[in-house]
Amino acid sequence: MAGTQCVGVDVSADEITVAIEGRAQRVTLTNDANGHQRLVRLLTRRGKASRVCLEATGIYHLDLALALHRATGIAVMVVNPTAARDFGRALLLRSKTDRVDAGVLLEFAQRMPFETWQPPAPEILDLRAIVRRIEALTLTRTQERNRLHAAGRCAELTSAIAWDIEAHLEHLAQSMERLQQQALAIVTAHPELDRRFARLVSVRGIASVSALRILAELAVLPADMTPRQWVAHAGLDPRALDSGTSLHKPARISKKGNRHLRAALYMPAMVAVREEPNVRGFYQKRITGGLKPIQALVAVERKLLHAIHGMWSSNSDFDGEKFCVKSA
């Protein structure tokens, strides 16, 4: 496209590395609202137009993609990580650093058909924002309850402080209830969200609060993501720890992903193990196979993500028989 510069952006948790067409020097910015706005100003300086290519990296790319998408003169393409990796291999690149990855994405934007990214629908972004606000208020409520507990056991803290904490707890409860109703109103007003919500609450262990949290985090993801990619996005994928012949630690989950989704799955998995016979059977098989209880619970969380993906794809309720296939 004449008069339009191509840009490759490698996104990590804390930083973004930018490769701009015609510039040998890479630009490194913080991966936050301030860094995003600095990048927008850099790319739109003197009325320039830009085609920006970045990789879908779990939760880290979405806010940047939204900031670029909203800017005048910037078109955004979000590529599948597998496509970017295969493209880098085709270029016979042996190194993998943020600077190299940004250069690969720049070449991807220059050589490959540019497919403009479409952001999640506004109602999905609103739902996620509301649910994350509820999550933050829940944490604040727990902290205030702990302070109230401490106030009752400390003679130096006056009754006025205890009263203030109780008033704050009441305000938090009202705010959380109001936000919960707003989130449910968004879901019921949009048939696709309502359909997915109904499938979630068909799982014995996922009530409306947990269903909203899971739905808000999964609904923003691309429709073509596989269950395994969901698991990796949540940071529930196992990470092997091997080094030479001296280090062979047990595999652990990577935790390099969406902590909100991991947190949303934890209590449903615990309740499902207790209340759903087939989930409990799946859990017990992992315990019998040598896993520790927490490892078996993580396996349940991974399996729940697979089950949810299947339920949404087939528009069917939870089927425990599919969750834990019994041996003949």
pLDDT at 171: 97
What is the distance between the alpha carbons of residues 199 and 205, in angstroms, rounded to a whole number? 12
Residue 1, classified by CB atoms within 10 Å of its CB into exposed (0-12), middle (13-18) or buried (19+), is exposed
Low-confidence ranges of the chain (pLDDT < 70): 1-2, 58-59, 92-98, 154-157, 239-256, 325-328
Span 228-254, pLDDT tens digits: 988 988 888 776 444 444 444 555 665
Q: Which two tokens stand for residue 279?
A: 């989930």
Q: What is the pLDDT of residue 156?
A: 60
Long-range contacts of the stretch 172-180 (C-beta < 8 A, 24+): 172/137, 172/140, 172/141, 172/144, 173/141, 175/137, 176/134, 176/137, 176/138, 176/141, 179/130, 179/133, 179/134, 179/137, 180/134, 180/209, 180/212
Q: 4-111 has which fold? A: Nucleotidyltransferase; domain 5 (3.30.420)
> With the C-alpha atoms ordered 309, 315, 317, 323, is the resulting torsion angle positive or negative?
negative
| Of 141, 149, 142, residue with least CA distance to 168 | 141
Burial (CB < 10 A; 0-12, 13-18, 19+), residue 153, is: exposed
pLDDT of residue 87: 82
pLDDT of residue 90: 81
Place of tokens 């927490």: 294
Using the 8-state DSSP alphabet, how is residue 214 labeled? H
Q: At what angle do helices 277-288 and 293-314 cross, to 10 degrees?
A: 140
Mean pLDDT, rounded, of the chain = 87
Q: Where in the chain are the domains?
A: 4-111, 124-189, 217-323
Kind of pairing between the strands at 15-20 and 27-30: antiparallel
**Which two tokens mark 13?**
């948790």
Half-sphere exposure in the Cβ direction for 214 (13 Å, CA): 29
The Cα–Cα gap between 55 and 85 comes to: 10
Structure confidence by residue, pLDDT tens digits, 25-50 = 899 999 999 999 999 999 998 888 99
Contact 5, 114 (CB under 8 A): no
Query: What pLDDT is attached to residue 241?
Result: 45
Alpha-carbon distance of 260 to 128, in angstroms, equals 10
Give Cβ neighbours of residue 193 (< 8 Å, ≥ 6 apart): 123, 124, 127, 186, 187, 215, 219
- pLDDT of 248: 47
pLDDT of residue 76: 94
How many helices, marked H, and strands, marked E, lie in the chain? 13, 7
| Distances from the Cα of 288 to the Cα of 118, 213, 237, 244, 325, angstroms | 46, 31, 21, 30, 16
Which string of DSSP letters, residue by residue, matches 30-91? Answer: ESSHHHHHHHHHHHTGGG-EEEEEEE--TTTTHHHHHHHHHSTTEEEEEE-HHHHHHHHHHT
Instruction: Give the type of residue at 189.
Output: A
For residues 199 and 187, the answer to whether their CB atoms sit within 8 Å is no
